[in-house]
Structure 1
Amino acid sequence: MSTDVVTHPTYGNWRRPRRPGLGAFGLVGTFGVFGGLVLALLVSLISLLAAAGVIALMVMFLLPLMIRTQDGRNVYQLLMLRLGWLRRKANGSTTYVSGPLSQRPGGRFRPPGLLTRVVMTEGRDAYDRPFGVLHYPGKNLYTIVLGCEPDGGSLVDPDQVDVWVASWGEWLARLAHEPQLRGAAVIVETAPDPGTRLASEVLPRISDNAPAAARAVMEEVVYRYPSASSEMHTYIALTYGVRAGKKQDQQDIIAELAIRIPGLLAGLVGAGGGSAAPLSAERVAEVVRVAYDPAVAGEVLSVRAQHGGTGLEWEDAGPAAAVETVNAYQHDSGVSRSWLLTLAPRGTVRSSVLRGLLEAAPNTRRKRVALFYRPIDPGTSARIVEADRRAAQFMATSGRGMIQARAASEVRAAEQTAAEEASGAGLVEFSLMVTVTVDSADQLPDASVTVRNLQSAARLSLRPADRMQAAAFTCTLPVGILPWEHTLIPRELQEAL
C-alpha cells in the first residue's frame, strides 16, 4: 500500500504596496510634517504665539491624512469624491439621454461617460481574422479584446489545474515585456441562458416525419433546459499606450497589434483558455449593447444565428437613457450596482477560491467580475521588492512582542517575494470589480446579499462603488478602461497621499 501523501499547492503572498513616508502620513504628509516643523522653528524666533499658530495649522492639515478607511483612503480623498459627485449632479452629467430626439450630435446611441469619445476601428491579424481596436484619443490608448472559452475545472485532474495556473502566471509575467502595455483586464460575464442557441441548433433539425412523442420530447427539452442553465463568457482586454511626444500613424499601430495577437492567444490556450480568438468590432459593440440593455440579449443571439451577424456599430451600442444615483446605475432595461475590492484574501488559498464568485448568481440578469492587472517592468520590480525587504527588516529589528512577531512574518514574505522575482517571476498589481445587473431597483437589496455571501466564500473584502457607479459599471465592460489611467489626479500623486 502506498503511503504517499497528496499535497495540493496553495497560493498567496500578495501584499499591498507600501506607502512611502512616515506611518499613515504618506509622502505628502511627511513633507508637511518636516516643512511645518522647520517653519514653526523659524517663526518662533520672532514670536512664540505665531509659532503655536503654525503648529496648530499643521495639525489641522495633517490630521485628515492620518484618518484612513480600511482600503487606505484618507479624509481628503473621501471629501474629493463627494465634491465630485455634487459637481456632476449639479451640471446634469448623472443623467444621459441619446437617440434621434436627444441633443446628442448625430442622433445616435453612443455609449456614455468614459466611452463618449472612443473611436472604434478594425484590423485583421496574421490569420485574416477581424479584431476591433478601441482608441481613446484623450489618453492616446488603444485596446484590443480577446474572447476565450475556458475549459473549466470539472472532471479535470488537480495536476492539470496546477499546470494551468502556472501557465497563467507565466502569461501574466510575459505581459511585463509587452512593449507599451499599460494594463490588462479579465472580464468573466455570466447570465441566464435565453435558450436561443439551443433552439436554433435543435428545432431546425427535427424531421417533419418524426413521431409526435419524439417531437414533443425535443421541444420540451428546448423549452425547459435554459431555465436551469447559464451562459458564461470570458474576455481579456489589453490596453496599449503611445509614448508622449511620439507621433505614430494609427494604421501602423493596428498593424503592430495584429502581429502580437497570435502569440497572446497561444499563451491563453496553454493556460486553459480553450478556444480563443480576437473579437471583431461588431462583437465588441454587441457585448456593450447587451450590457446596457439586457432585454435584447435573446434578440441579438437570434439575429446572429440567423444572419451570421447583427451589423451593430459602435455608435449604436449605448443606452437610450441612463441615470446614475449614489448607489445604483439605471440603464434601459436594467439596474446595476458595482463593488470594488478593498482587501485581497489573507493567508493562502486554493486555485478554486474564486469559483463561486465567477459562477452565475441566482435572481440576477447579468453579473460581471473584472480582474485588473498592471504588469511592472523587471527593473521597477527589483527596486520595489528590495525596498519592501529593507523596510520589513527594519520593522522586525525595531519592534517588540507581537509587533516583532508580525514583522518577522513580513520579513519572510518579503524574502520569498524577492527570491521569486530574482528567479524570473513577474510582479503585477491587481484589483477586482463586481457588477450585478437586475431588472428593477427593488431587487438590488437581494443582489447585495448575494454578493456579500459570495465575497465571504471567496475571502474577499468588497465595498460598494458609491457615487461612482457609472464609472465602475463601465470599467467592468470589456472595453479596456483602466481606472488608474482615467483619474483627474495622477497615479503617482495618489500613491503619495
Structure 2
Amino acid sequence: MSTAAAGATHPTYGNWRRPRRAGLGPFGLVGTVGVFGGLIVLLLISLASLVAALVALIPMGLLLLPLIVRTQDGRNLYQLLALRVGWFRRKAKGAHVYVSGPLSHRPGGRFHPPGLLGKVDMAEGRDAYGRPFGVLHHKGRNLYTIVLGCEPDGGSLVDPDQVDVWVASWGDWLARLSHEPQLKGASVVVETAPDPGTRLALEVLPQIKAGAPAVARAVMEEVVESYPSASSEMNTYITLTYGIPDGTKRGIEEVVTDLAIRIPGLLAGLIGAGGGSAAPLSAEHIAEVTRVAYDPEVAPDVLTARATAGGTGLEWADAGPASAIETVGAYHHDSGVSRTWLLTLAPRGTVRSSVLRGLLEPTSGTRRKRVALVYRPIDPATSARIVEADRRAAQFMATSGRGMVQARAASEVRAAEQTAAEEAAGAGLIEFSLMVTVTVDSADRLPDAATAVRNLQASSRVSMRAADRMQAAAFTCTLPLGVLPWENVMLPRELQEAL
C-alpha cells in the first residue's frame, strides 16, 4: 500500500510494508505450534525417563531447525527443498520439455500455449461501445481474464503537480479494485522491445513519388533504415482476473456479458490516471501478443500484417511455441531465451514517482523485456483485520525490545499506525509484487542480461532474485494473460503464510 507524504513541490511515496507473520520469531504459526507441542511431548516423556526425553529432543530439534533458517524473501529450508524436489520430479517425467504442432504427439496438431496456459480457452464479446474484447477462461481454476491496452502519457515535460494527480488517481483506481465484485487479482505489464521499423517503413516508403529527386529519395530511405536502431516500442497492458461465486453456475456467455458492462468504467479510471488512449484487447490481439512473446522473430511480420491486412487472423490455439525447454536458470522457447526475476524487497523508505522509470525503460542488448506488477486486492473486512493485527504485533515488539531493536520497532509502530489510520479513512489495502522477464537471442547473452538487471535494480532500489527451477511458470506469469501466482499453488495460501 502506498501513501503520499507531505511535500508541496516534490511529493514522496512509501509506507508499504510486509505484514508480520504470526508465530514466535522466525518459526511462523506452524513452527510455533510445533515448538509448544514438542515441549509438551518432552515433558510427558521426561516423567517416565529423562534419558528418553533427551533422545527425543534430537529429532525434534532437527525437524524444527529448518524453520528458523530463512532467505531474504522469507522462505525456509523446507520450502527450498520442496522447490528442488518439484523440479527433479518435473525433469524426471519430461515435463520440462514441450513440443507441439502437426508432428508432435499432442492431439489436434496445433500450437497451443504450454504449461499454466494448457487449460486456457478464449472467448470474445463486445462492450457497450461495440469494441471486441477477448476473455481468457482458466478452466482449471474457473477464472476469467480480460486484457486492457493503454498508451500512458509520458512523464517528460510534465508539471510535477500533474504527475502527482496521476499517481493519486492511480492509487484511487487500485483502491476501487477492492470493491470490484469477485476480482481475484490484477496486473500491469509493461513490455519494451527494439523498434523493427516496420510501421515507419510502411508509412514513409509508399509516400515517395516515383519522380522524386535521387537525393531526397536517398535521405528518406536512410531515415527509414537508421531511425529504428535508436528507437523502441513500448506496450502497456492491464489484466483483470475474475472468479465465480461459490455454488454458482454461470455460462461463458453470461460471464462475457457481465464483463462487457464493467469495461467502460474501468477504462475511464485508467484514462484519468494518465493511461492515455485505452481500449480492450480483442481475442486476436491477445493471441498475437502471446505469439510474439514465445517467438520474438515474428514481431515484424505481425506488425506488417496489422498494417496491411488489418490483422493476422491468429487464433488462441496457434499462439504457443513449437518447442520449449525449461532449465534451472532459463526458459528456451522458439527464437528466444528468457530469464525471469522475482521481487524480494520493495524500495525501502520514501521514494519518488519515478523510482521504477529505469526498470521500465528499454534495455539495450535484449530482444524483449517485460516488467509485471501483480496486485492482489483485499476486501475491506479482511483489510481491517490485517491492519489491526499488524498494529498489535508492532506494539508488542516495541514494548518488549531494547536499544536498537526498540528504536526499529518504534518505527514499525508509526508505520502500522499510519496504515491503520488510512485504512479507517477509506483507503484500500492491496498486496503487490514485481516480476521482470528478459528475452535474448541465445543463452550466451544471458550473463549480460543478468548484469543489466542488477544495474536496474540498484537504480530502482529494489532487490530481486532469479526464479530458478520455475522459469517456465514465472515466464507465463509476466505475460498479460491473467495468470495469478497465488491461484496456481499446491498448498493453500493460508497454509503457506503460516509457514
TM value normalised by structure 1: 0.98
Which SS does the other structure have where 1:431 is aligned? strand
Which residue in 1 is equivalent to 2:373?
Answer: 371
What's the offset of the Cα at 1:132? 0.5
Matched with 1:124 is 126
Residue 225 (structure 1) aligns with: 227
Q: Residue 344 of structure 1: which of 343, 346, 349 is its match?
A: 346
Distance in 1 of aligned mates of 2:260 and 2:40:
57
The percentage of counterpart residues that share the same residue type is 78
Match runs of 1:312-323 below 5 Å: 312-323=314-325
Q: Which residue of 2 aligns with 1:73?
A: 75
TM-score by length of 2: 0.97
**1:478 paired to 2:480:** yes
How far residue 143 of structure 1 moved from its aligned partner, in angstroms, is 0.4
Structure 2: how far apart are the matches of 1:53 and 1:235?
59
8 Å CA contact 2:378–2:429 kept in 1: the answer is: yes
- Residue 42 of structure 1 deviates from its aligned partner by 1.9
Partner residue in 2 for 1:243: 245
Alignment of 1:129-168 (within 5 A): 129-168=131-170
Match of 1:274 in 2: 276
Q: Which moved more, 1:248-257 or 1:180-189?
A: 248-257
CA distance in 2, matches of 1:240, 1:45: 56
Q: Is the 8 Å Cα contact of residues 292 and 319 (structure 1) preserved in structure 2?
A: yes
Q: The residue matched to 2:465 in structure 1 has which SS?
A: strand
**Could you give the per-residue CA deviations for residues 305-339 of structure 1, whole angstroms, max 9, x where no partner exists?**
11000000001000001111000110000000110
1:474-494 deviation line (CA, Å, top 9, x unaligned):
000000010000011111110
Does residue 18 of structure 2 align to residue 16 of structure 1? yes
Q: Aligned equivalents of 1:250 and 1:302: distance in 2?
A: 33
SS of aligned partner of 1:244: coil
Unaligned runs of 5+ in 2: 1-6
Q: Secondary structure at the match of 1:145?
A: strand
Aligned to 1:453: 455
Distance between the aligned counterparts of 2:437 and 2:287, measured in 1? 19
Q: Tell me if structure 1 keeps the 8 A contact 2:9–2:160.
A: no
Q: Cα RMSD (Å) of the superposition?
A: 1.0
Question: What's the CA shift for 1:138?
Answer: 1.1
SS, match of residue 55 in structure 2: helix
- Aligned-partner Cα distance in 1 for 2:57–2:31: 14
Aligned to 1:42: 44
Which residue in 2 is equivalent to 1:97?
99
Counterpart of 1:335, as a letter, is V
Separation in structure 1 between the aligned mates of residue 150 and residue 341 of structure 2, nearest angstrom: 25
Structure 1 CA distance for aligned equivalents of residues 427 and 134 of structure 2: 31
Aligned with 2:108: secondary structure?
helix
Q: 1:6/1:257 Cα in 2 relative to 1: closer, same or farther (>3 Å)?
A: closer
Tell me if structure 2 keeps the 8 A contact 1:327–1:337. Answer: yes
Partner of 1:88: 90
- For the Cα contact (< 8 Å) 1:39–1:54, is it kept in 2? no
**Aligned partners of 1:366, 1:493: CA distance in 2, in Å?**
36
1:259-301 alpha-carbon deviations (Å, 9 max, x no partner): 0000000000000000000000000000000000000000110
Amino acid at match of 1:210: A
**1:380 counterpart = 2:382:** yes
> 1:258 corresponds to which residue?
260
* Preserved CA contact (<8 Å) 1:37 1:55: no
Q: Deviations over 1:182-225 (max 9, x none)?
A: 00010000000000111111112222333222222211111111
**Cα deviation, residue 154, structure 1:** 0.7
Give, as a single letter, the amino acid of the residue that structure 1 aligns with 2:180.
Answer: E
- Per-residue CA deviation, residues 369-414 of structure 1 (Å, 9 max, x unaligned), is 0000001111111111111111111111111111111111111111
Quote the offset at 1:6 in angstroms: 5.6
Counterpart contact for 2:232–2:362, Cα < 8 Å: yes
The match for 2:391 among 389, 392, 406 is 389
Would the aligned equivalents of 1:371 and 1:430 in 2 still touch at CA under 8 Å?
Answer: yes
Measured against aligned partners, the alpha-carbon deviations of 1:16-71 in whole angstroms (never above 9, x if no partner) come to 12111111000100110111111222222222222223322221111000000000
Deviation, 1:441, is 0.6
Q: Residue type of the partner of 2:358?
A: G
Q: Do the aligned partners of 2:288 and 2:314 also contact (CA within 8 Å) in 1?
A: yes
In 2, Cα distance between equivalents of 1:31 and 1:394: 20
Q: 1:283 is matched with which residue?
A: 285
CA distance in 2, matches of 1:56, 1:211: 90
| Larger CA deviation: 30-39 vs 452-461 | 30-39
**Which of 55-64 and 154-163 deviates more?**
55-64
In the alignment, the residues of structure 2 paired with residue 107 and residue 249 of structure 1 have an alpha-carbon distance, to the nearest angstrom, of: 28
Task: After superposition, give the CA deviation of every residue in 1:235-258 in whole Å (9 maximum; x if it has no partner).
Answer: 011000112322112211110001
Match of 1:434 among 427, 436, 452: 436
Q: Which residue of 2 aligns with 1:355?
A: 357
Q: Aligned partners of 1:86 and 1:244: how far apart in 2?
A: 35
Q: Is the 8 A contact 1:113 1:471 kept in 2?
A: yes
Contact persistence 1:345–1:459 (CA under 8 A):
yes
Q: Which amino acid aligns with 2:448?
A: D
Letter in 2 for 1:358: L
Structure 1 segments, 4+ long, off by >3 Å, are: none
Q: Does residue 418 of structure 2 align to residue 402 of structure 1? A: no
- The one-letter amino acid of 2:264's match is P
- How far apart in 1 are the matches of 2:19 and 2:391? 12
SS at match of 1:50: helix
Equivalent-residue separation in structure 2 for 1:398 and 1:413 (angstroms): 18
